[in-house]
């Protein structure tokens, strides 16, 4: 079923073989509640509790491809959620730092990572709008929730040459890629519309 899913994503335009290999390798059904398990290899988003969703596989593959992950790259993920995207990044041999703002999901997914033997460098309960200054700079940053605007700390925490992939917008989001060209210059590309749950600001 995973091979079929990877073939489907390849048909939808995903070309990076390392990304398709990661999709072939990660058992998505284990990241879903058992009631959705049978549908795990459809190209669809599903609820994961706490009003959140596991992203559609195409979206995961599309964003991951844009990051251009290489082994040992330091990657920051905003929105741990089910941990599926984290697992795809780990499969690409990235050093992954991942932030989740919902306590329930943070706890559940932290336990799941341990159980499965997935070892992100850090799983953090916190606010992704701030990034992770103490571990910056990053080779790439991926935001897996819809951001109403581009948080400046995320741009500031990229290496020169680093890439930020972020869906920007409220009702609908435009997938946006920023590449840091120098200390002050960023190249920006807009790459089609998607629908994500919102990136929320912490009230506390």
- Measure CA of the first residue to CA of the last residue in the chain; give whole Å: 43
Show contacts with ligand SAH in window 133-162 (CB under 6 A): 144-145
- Three-state DSSP at 53 gives strand
Show contacts with ligand SAH in window 91-120 (CB under 6 A): 99-102, 105
Q: Show Cβ contacts of residue 43 under 8 Å, excluding neighbours closer than 6 positions.
A: 5, 8, 9, 12, 56, 57, 58
Among 63, 65, 127, 162, binds ligand SAH (CB under 6 A): 127
Active site residue 119: no
Residue with tokens 């912490």: 202
Nearest-approach distance from CB 31 to ligand SAH, in angstroms: 7
CB atoms within 10 A of CB 49: 13
The bridge status of strand 138-143 relative to strand 158-168 is: parallel
Contact yes or no for 95/76 (Cβ under 8 A): no
Show contacts with ligand SAH in window 37-66 (CB under 6 A): 52-55
Contact yes or no for 173/196 (Cβ under 8 A): yes
10, 18, 55, 182: the active-site residue: 55
Among 116, 150, 155, 200, binds ligand SAH (CB under 6 A): 200
Among 63, 64, 68, 85, binds ligand SAH (CB under 6 A): 85
Residue 84 touching ligand SAH (CB under 6 A): yes
Interacting residue ranges for ligand SAH, rule: CB under 6 A = 52-55, 78-79, 81-82, 84-85, 99-102, 105, 127-129, 144-145, 197, 199-200
Cite the active site residues.
Answer: 55
């Amino acid at each position: 079923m995973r091979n079929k899913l990877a073939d489907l994503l390849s048909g939808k335009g995903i070309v990076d073989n390392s990304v398709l290999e990661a999709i072939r390798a990660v058992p998505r059904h284990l990241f879903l509640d058992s009631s959705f398990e049978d549908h795990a290899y459809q190209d669809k988003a599903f609820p994961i509790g706490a009003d959140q969703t596991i992203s559609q596989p195409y979206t995961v593959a599309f964003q991951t491809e844009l990051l251009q992950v290489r082994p040992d790259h330091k990657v920051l993920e905003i929105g741990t959620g089910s941990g599926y995207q984290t697992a795809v990044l780990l499969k690409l041999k990235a050093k992954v730092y991942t932030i989740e703002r919902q306590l329930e999901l943070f706890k559940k997914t932290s336990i799941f990572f341990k159980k499965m033997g997935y070892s992100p460098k850090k799983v953090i309960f916190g606010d992704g709008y701030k990034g992770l200054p103490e571990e910056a700079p990053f080779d790439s940053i991926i935001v897996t929730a819809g951001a109403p605007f581009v948080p400046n700390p995320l741009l500031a925490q990229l290496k020169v040459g680093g890439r930020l992939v972020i869906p920007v917008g409220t009702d609908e989001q435009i997938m946006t890629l920023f590449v840091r060209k120098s200390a002050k210059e960023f190249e920006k590309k807009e790459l089609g519309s998607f629908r994500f749950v919102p990136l929320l600001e912490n009230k506390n």
